[in-house]
Structure 1
């Protein structure tokens, strides 16, 4: 018998839709720069500015991401080092990992391909 364990949902650092439009624009621009950065310094600067846009400190992992749930439109922004996350996409040509937040992982985890 398969037993599914649920993660304990971790509150997000922020929710994109609760930010002011200018904060959303800055955050999205910074995340695009981080995702396509060709060097570590550019990535780190973009992450730092993205964290400032959502008025939080950059977590020890040095990275923040927006939920990549393909089932709903989740706007949670969180640390990808949070326990209990589910990889929403296999690794691709980008710098940012694609994870579902802990809430989406519990409610409707995206199937993974092996």
Structure 2
């Protein structure tokens, strides 16, 4: 008889405010470069570096962002851009979308039509 155990799920989130100052500086640096690059290979490498700096695994989507909620500065959620329940805060001409995390969406959603 075998014993079945629940599958482990990877937590594809991190809290920016829990990162050390060095981790935050590296995360910010690579995210800024990733947001402005036009090279897909460089973008993928930078996303992996950002996830590493945040102490989280890179999700299958290959992209992470920090919550861009305009209603609270306290949110430090770093998350998968393909996570369910996200709202786009504002359109962007750059690589990284400006998204509101699921917690902020629940607590104070942004109206994407505004």
TM-score (norm 1): 0.85
Gaps of 5+ in 1: 1-10
Structure number with higher relative contact order (C-alpha < 8 Å, ≥ 6 residues apart): 1
Question: RMSD over aligned Cα, in angstroms?
Answer: 1.4
Gaps of 5+ in 2: 1-10
**Contact 1:67/1:101 (CA < 8 Å) preserved in 2?**
yes
TM-score (norm 2): 0.85
Over 4 Å off, 4+ runs: none
Map Cα deviations across residues 74-99 of structure 1 (whole Å, 9 max, x no partner).
11000011111111112x21000111
Structure with more strand by fraction: 2
Q: Which is greater in Rg?
A: 2
Aligned position for 1:40: 40
Query: 2: CA distance between counterparts of 1:107 and 1:80?
Result: 19
Aligned length in residues: 103
Query: 1: CA distance between counterparts of 2:56 and 2:67?
Result: 17
- The alpha carbon displacement at 1:69 in A equals 0.2
